[in-house]
């Protein structure tokens, strides 16, 4: 069974540019989460999808961040325009809706550097 | 509101020595608690979890953790450190209000000395 995959693994962009991160959850996992770790800080929750619906987006920093999950499969996180403080590692995780929804499976992360 | 505190951002132990990584939590409801490990250039991997069953939880790679409600702690231990244990370890509490999102501690980087 394939795990959670994220693309790209690294991205270096200039301030003001746009970047789109992609996450493919484990097949059949209805719950999908985005987290971010800024250097030296804790991993912080950004938002939670149940299928294609946003269940909780309380962690989204501002309206420069747009997350989508069309069709309830993969998800994208777009940052537009990017600012220096957006640099960090963005993790995606998924979990089942039934059974054990508390156990999340994480992807390897996308390291975003904004210069 | 729930929170997690990991004492010690860096911990060094000698190979073969006891590993003790500390985690304290704050939660107004019975928590679900997790330890994840991140090896270099990899994603987070679940080590073990507490979900209100046995208070002593055994995980992978010889790690275990004990849930102590009176101390609001969930410390991670391993009797004998191995060089391959060098990694960053994260304690997390799951919000049990329906979103299941995690609140993480700041992480502890474990260094194992030969």
Cα distance between residue A59 and residue A38, in whole Å: 14
Q: What is the pLDDT of residue A1?
A: 66
Confidence of residue B24 (pLDDT cuts 50, 70, 90): very high
Q: Is the pLDDT of residue B83 over 70?
A: yes
Among the partner-chain residues A59, A91, A102, the one whose CB lies closest to the CB of B32 is A102
Of A69-73, B80-84, B87-91, the range with the lowest mean pLDDT is A69-73
pLDDT at residue A8 tops 80: yes
Angle made by CA atoms A30, A70, A34, in degrees to the nearest 5: 60
Look at residue B97 in the predicted model and tell me its pLDDT. 67
Q: What is the pLDDT of residue A102?
A: 84
Q: Tokens for B114?
A: 């030969």
CB-closest option in B34, B90, B99 to A55 = B99
In this prediction, residue A78 carries a pLDDT of: 98
B11 contact partners, CB below 8 Å, separation of at least 6: B19, B20, B21, B108, B109, B110, B111
Residue B58 has pLDDT above 90, yes or no: yes
| pLDDT tens digits, one per residue of A37-59 | 998 899 999 999 999 999 999 99
Q: How far is B79 from chain A (nearest CA, A)?
A: 26
Whether B94 contacts chain A with CB within 8 A = yes
Q: Is the pLDDT of residue B98 over 90?
A: no
Residue B30 has a pLDDT of 78
Q: What was the pLDDT predicted at B93?
A: 93
pLDDT at B52: 78
Q: Which helix (H) or strand (E) holds B48?
A: strand B44-50
The closest CB to that of B102, out of A4, A41, A104, belongs to A104
Q: What is the pLDDT of residues A67-113, one digit of tens each?
A: 999 888 999 999 999 999 999 999 999 998 877 878 999 999 999 99
Q: For residue A72, what pLDDT is reported?
A: 85
């Amino acid at each position: 069974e394939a795990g959670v995959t994220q693309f790209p693994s690294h991205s270096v962009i200039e301030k003001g540019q746009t970047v789109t991160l992609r996450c493919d959850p484990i097949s059949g996992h209805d719950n999908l989460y985005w987290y971010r770790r800024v250097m030296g800080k804790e991993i912080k929750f950004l938002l939670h999808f149940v299928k294609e619906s946003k269940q909780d987006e309380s962690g989204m920093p501002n309206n420069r961040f747009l997350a989508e999950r069309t069709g309830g499969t993969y998800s994208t996180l777009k940052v537009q325009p990017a600012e220096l403080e957006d640099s960090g590692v963005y993790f995606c995780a998924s979990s089942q809706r039934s059974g054990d929804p508390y156990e999340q499976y994480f992807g390897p992360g996308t390291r975003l550097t904004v210069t | 509101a729930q929170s997690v505190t990991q004492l010690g951002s860096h911990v060094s132990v000698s190979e073969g020595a006891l590993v003790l990584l500390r985690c304290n939590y704050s939660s107004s409801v019975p928590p679900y608690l997790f330890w994840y490990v991140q090896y270099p250039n990899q994603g987070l991997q679940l080590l073990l979890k507490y979900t209100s069953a046995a208070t002593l939880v055994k995980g992978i790679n010889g790690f275990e953790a004990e849930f102590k409600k009176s101390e609001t702690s969930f410390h991670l231990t391993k009797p004998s450190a191995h060089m391959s244990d060098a990694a960053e370890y994260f304690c997390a509490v799951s919000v049990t209000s329906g979103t299941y999102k995690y609140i993480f501690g700041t992480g502890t980087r474990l260094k194992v000395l030969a």
